[in-house]
Amino acid sequence: MNPNYLWLIPVLPFAGFLINGTLGRKLARPAVAGIALLFTAIPALLVAWLWSTMLSTGALTMSVTSRSWITVPGFHVNFAFAVDHLTLIMLAVVTGVGFLIHIYSAGYMAHEEGYWRFFAYLNLFMFFMLVLVLAANFLLLFVGWEGVGLASYLLIGFYFTKDSAANAGKKAFVVNRIGDFGFLLAMFLIIAHFGSLSFGDVFAAVNAHPAWQGGFLTAIALLLLVGAAGKSAQLPLYVWLPDAMEGPTPVSALIHAATMVTAGVYMVCRTHVIFDRSPLALSVVAIIGAATAIFAATIGMVQHDIKRVLAYSTVSQLGYMFLGCGVAAYSAAVFHLMTHAFFKALLFLAAGSVIHALSGEQDMRLMGGLKKRIPVTYWTMTAGVIAIAGIPPLAGFFSKDEILYRTFAFEANPMLGKLLWAVGLLTAGLTSFYMFRLWYKTFAGEERFDEAHLGQAHAVVHADEHPAGHDEGQDTSHQGHHGVHESPWIMLAPLCILALLSIIGGWIGIPQALGGSNHFEHFLDPVFAATTHAENAVNADQVSHSMELVLAAVSVLVALIGWFVARIFYLKKPGTLGARFGNSALYKLVANKYWVDEAYDATIVQPTVIGSRILLWGFVENVLVNGSGFVSAAITRLFASVTRKMQSGNIRSYAGWLAVGAAIILIAMTASALHIH
């Protein structure tokens, strides 16, 4: 494949964005969806072509560079794309899952106002995400990084007439800015120390100096981590992701589960050469990952909104990926990134299908007994739940277990490794618990929704949720469905494909201990070679295959315990858990999300608002800005009141001024002439 075709991969979705963004308002809905799908399908085919090239030759590295983008003495940056095996996996996930979600959206959004706007934004997101994963230098990566943030903002606030959606969009944007600030500082440090932002130059320089350990590399790594924590919703910057659920469900699936939020993990993996030189930074990554994983999992246990459970679950799973990165198990982290993209996209889309079936209801307390009513959604979601719970042989088991095993075997700091492993294991149990809780509350038990009033509820909920989307066409089309209804096939087909991927997706990474050969890790060897080989050698000595089997058995056991606990409390004896703990302080603490939002509001938001009001509005705006305006206006007016007298409107006075002017010029010239001689 000609490397120049790489430009097409991101540019085509951008073309789709331009067409739909400018002409979409006038086009028919099928045309809008067709354009968006076409400009997503072609990049997916190009990626498939890349994969076929890779499979036929066994390995693939490819790069393409434009002419100079920024050139100043001593520093220059190009538009440059590079493809290696890590990029190939990301490209496959982004274009593949992205394409499926585009198909789903064509059905899900069918009755919404702003159809063209939605698809234009979605294509814009694809463009920036592909730039992000293809970028061959930090600056271009940053362009994609900011761009996906923009697309995320636009799509979270898609129902912009609703205050909570507009605020959620703002919150996501502002919190991400904090992370981006760290990323920017990291780039400045890189420029200062390496004089280049190209991945190749920087990593080659690091590799060429084995003596560089810690020091400024730690600073760069920690600042990059701040950026990654913002984008990937890690502690302490995770607060935007649960609120981002205000966006349409396909957006939650594509941006806030499968692709954009994994950009932080991708970035850490991409810059692993820097992280490898800083044990401190790696430990921080691992600790933040593990802490986020368990923190978000506990909150996820008590949420009632089906999408919020999934949102906290996403934060928690991203924590696993960071944990994997932090113990230098980058390929395991990327493996989990990929399987997570499959099963979490599936879960979100299935949740969207449930919400669609209940005409907009998101509260699990008002669901239940949907198993028979929407069987396809039920079965596909079951695959997703089992996959994320970590029960073999579905995808989530292999990737999560790989991370846990590598954490346990973390040789740089065995004590920390064991501790984080225990946290990860506990999180696995909690994950299983809250996912099966969601599953039972949604599909099992009695029907807690009021079917007779569902049409009304639909009208109320939809009107409440997105007033702009409640047009005449929507009403008539929904009157055809009476009560609960299965989604159309355009939505179910992507669900089935993702369910299949969630089931078999993990088989490419079966570890040797379980009789596989871990193709996935070998596939990523060219990228992570130096790290993984050293790690493997140590692991072989430290932890035998039998140990790995024991650990796998333990984590499966924990997942099953989580399942059975959920089964007891949400299927056999529903309500007992709430009756027992509903009023306890611990429950309230967790149900209120540890009051993190309130704490941020009190310590950061309110002081900023008050400071702005007193200092910026009271002093800078009113005194400095307005004051200088008033003073200059007064001076001008004073001057004008004098000079206005010259403009009397009387012709003879003009003649007089003319004569005076001529006389002054004459005198001045005479005087200067006399002075010179």
Partner 1 sequence: MVPIAYYLILAAVLFSIGIGSFLIKRNIITIFMSIELMLNAVNLTFVAFAHQWKLIHGQIFVFFVMVVAAAEAAVGLAIIIAIFRTRQTLNVDNINLMKN
Q: Between residues 526 and 656, which has the closer beta carbon with respect to partner 1? A: 656
Q: Does 607 bind partner 1 (CB under 8 A)?
A: no
Q: Between residues 8 and 658, which has the closer beta carbon with respect to partner 1? A: 658
Span 307-326, contacts to partner 1 by CB under 8 A: none
Task: Write b or e for each residue in 606-635: b if 16 or more Cβ atoms lie within 10 A of its Cβ, otherwise e.
Answer: eeeeeeeeeeeeeeeeeeeeeeeeeeeeee
Q: Between residues 67 and 645, which has the closer beta carbon with respect to partner 1? A: 645
Among 652, 672, 673, 676, binds partner 1 (CB under 8 A): 652
Least Å from the CB of residue 671 to partner 1? 18
Q: Does 642 bind partner 1 (CB under 8 A)?
A: no
Among 651, 673, 674, 676, binds partner 1 (CB under 8 A): 651
Binding-site size for partner 1 (CB under 8 A) equals 8
Q: Does 645 bind partner 1 (CB under 8 A)?
A: no
Q: Are 313 and 293 in contact (CB under 8 A)?
A: no
Most distant CA pair in the chain: distance in Å?
Answer: 116
* Residue 295: C-alpha distances to residues 289, 431, 553 (Å): 10, 11, 24
Among 648, 661, 668, 671, binds partner 1 (CB under 8 A): 648
In angstroms and rounded to an integer, the radius of gyration of the C-alpha atoms of the chain is 30
Q: Between residues 68 and 670, which has the closer beta carbon with respect to partner 1? A: 670
What is the per-residue DSSP string for 382-404? Answer: HHHHHHHHT-TTSHHHHHHHHHH
* Per-residue contact string for residues 482-511; x = within reach of partner 1 by CB under 8 A: ------------------------------
Q: Does 655 bind partner 1 (CB under 8 A)?
A: yes
Q: Does 665 bind partner 1 (CB under 8 A)?
A: no
What are the residues facing 83 on neighbouring strands?
62
DSSP state of 51: H
Among 280, 504, 659, 671, binds partner 1 (CB under 8 A): 659
Q: Does 661 bind partner 1 (CB under 8 A)?
A: no
Least Å from the CB of residue 657 to partner 1? 11
Q: Does 649 bind partner 1 (CB under 8 A)?
A: yes
Q: Between residues 611 and 656, which has the closer beta carbon with respect to partner 1? A: 656
Q: Between residues 211 and 651, which has the closer beta carbon with respect to partner 1? A: 651
- Type of residue found at 362: Q
Spatial CB neighbours of 181, under 8 Å, sequence gap ≥ 6: 226
**C-alpha neighbours within 13 Å on the C-beta side of residue 283:** 14
CB atoms within 10 A of CB 578: 12
Task: Write b or e for each residue in 448-463: b if 16 or more Cβ atoms lie within 10 A of its Cβ, otherwise e.
Answer: ebeeeebbebbbebbe
- Type of residue found at 296: A
Q: Which of 290, 306, 13 is nearest to 134 (CA)?
A: 13
Span 216-255, contacts to partner 1 by CB under 8 A: none
Q: Between residues 650 and 672, which has the closer beta carbon with respect to partner 1? A: 650
Q: Are 106 and 37 in contact (CB under 8 A)?
A: yes
Q: Does 624 bind partner 1 (CB under 8 A)?
A: no
Match 């909690």 to its residue by tokens: 430
Q: Does 57 bind partner 1 (CB under 8 A)?
A: no
Q: Does 530 bind partner 1 (CB under 8 A)?
A: no
Least Å from the CB of residue 652 to partner 1? 6
Enumerate binding residues for partner 1 (CB under 8 A). Answer: 648-652, 655-656, 659
